Structure 1
């Protein structure tokens, strides 16, 4: 089970890197960021698929999505200087609560 969560962590990191690089591709007009984006997403999906061997898909996907969204939002504010408003913070709170509910009461348990 621990290995599954380690795979999930790698998948999350890959997805966050890939999404940030996606912005850097400038609409896939820049070759190197585009190639790095593809590599990051391949790594992300590969390790996400490995995590499904020991973690229920609903739980793994909820964690992957929630942590990914939170980290990408954090990077967008810090690195890309995008604004953050109160409703975005409320929405992130709902995502966190939803992920906790899936983990506690999902059918995979």
Structure 2
């Protein structure tokens, strides 16, 4: 697994991108090209967290949701689902790109 780095889309957020080598690819997709991107607001601060799953045709951008979850004392993580987002060109290799 990789390391956390500044998010490519959101200031004040970090991303962790990792390959999904077991995910099957379709015709014309490079083998091992699917990735998942985990996004968080800076470094974790709380003992509890909420994981937000999405990824249809966009990437995580709902910072207001992350702020609301952070208020009562939960770290917020969003997972871009590679099986849908990658096929829309939003979460694919190289691992540093979510666009």
**TMscore range, shorter length:** under 0.3
Give the TM-score of the pair, scaled to structure 1. Answer: 0.24
* Larger helix fraction of residues: 1
* Larger strand fraction of residues: 2
